[in-house]
Amino acid sequence: MSKIITDKLDRPLRDLRISVTDKCNFRCNYCMPAEIFGPDHPFLPKNEVLTFEEIERLVGIFANLGVRKIRLTGGEPLLRKNLSKLIKNLVNIKGITDIGLTTNGIFLPKQANHLYAAGLRRLNISLDALNDDIFKRLNGRGVSSKTVLKAIEMAKDIGFDVKINMVVQKGVNDQEIIPMAKYFYENDITLRFIEFMDVGNTNGWNLEKVITKREIFHLLSSSFELEEVEPAYFGEVAKRYKYKEKNAEVGFIPSVSESFCSSCTRARISADGNLYTCLFASKGYDLKKILRNEKDDDKIKDEIISIWNHRKDRYSDERMSRPKEKKQKIEMSYIGG
């Protein structure tokens, strides 16, 4: 049955990102600017958020469609109570071989041991600057970079595979590229530079703020000798390089300057149960309603197959050819990165 279903997909679906909450403790301009997501912002009521049981059911269905990687995101996923219980159950779903979590690291020290014991092994931790003044300004809450660095050190000591995500904006934190690279080089931790993307409608994006992968690579090459690493699988988003004589890697997510629409194998589920086939999508498909009204998993599979095979998302391809066209997009806080 699983083989037949997988064959119906016109392109492999290997990677599923699930937002477990729309809430976050940061108010960074990248995805949750304070002027929009202030203290009175109406976040989702509890009954509109997918339950753990519903998430587990969906993951089982997606696993039968070929999904192997799960990434738990937010908002800030560590704001979701008892998250380790969800992870423990997801680890045991047949077909799932890789579960990761993206976090800003603030709540990690209190939860890291529970998450590891539940079976989580991979963490992507967001850190956009080492400089305290820059980082405090970026996170909108005055949180020190030292707080995140301590969480990173703890996670590494416990045994997590840790990667650091840095969103680079021209004139904002681009002066931190080399200091960040040197720090994580010395600590044998993979750093990934993410081009500033026009996710959602509120982060004030324009092309002049983008530092491209080519520009960052050129800057790094003045301080490091880098060797390109072959993709680990079809549809891998990161362009990876290895530091010569070091185990750590540096990676790039160049979704502005080097579109990867043609090889995308990733889908996203928002905290309220909508399926999105693109980070820049304006329309989601309500799986929560189907989950709560349909007992037959095969019918849900068929619906997912239909959605995936009829997608027409090519936003990163079209961005440059239609620069003046305005498109309403789902906010990043709803579907993670």
Binding residues for [4Fe-4S] cluster are: 24, 28, 31, 261, 264, 278
By the 10 Å C-beta count (0-12 exposed, 13-18 middle, 19+ buried), 66 is classed as: middle
Q: Where does the chain have alpha helices with state H?
A: 2-7, 52-64, 83-91, 108-118, 132-139, 145-158, 177-186, 213-221, 287-293, 297-309, 315-318, 332-335
H, E, C per residue of 46-67: HHHCCCHHHHHHHHHHHHHCCC
Short-list 285, 278, 283, CA closest to 319: 278
Binding residues: 17, 24, 28, 30-31, 71, 75, 102, 126, 163, 197, 261, 264, 266-268, 278
Q: How far is residue 263's CA from residue 92's CA, in Å, rounded to a whole number? A: 28
Quote the DSSP letter at residue 167. Answer: E
Q: How far is residue 174's CA from residue 129's CA, in Å, rounded to a whole number? A: 9
Quote the DSSP letter at residue 126. Answer: E
- Whether 79 and 23 have beta carbons less than 8 Å apart is answered as yes
**Strand partners for 276:** 268
Binding residues for GTP: 17, 71, 102, 163, 266-268
CA 182 to chain centre: 24
CA 274 to chain centre: 16
Short-list 207, 201, 188, CA closest to 257: 207
Binding residues for S-adenosyl-L-methionine: 30, 75, 126, 197
Position of tokens 């194998």? Answer: 265
Q: How far is residue 122's CA from residue 24's CA, in Å, rounded to a whole number? A: 20
- Return the number of other C-beta atoms located less than 10 Å from residue 274's C-beta: 21
- Whether 169 and 144 have beta carbons less than 8 Å apart is answered as no
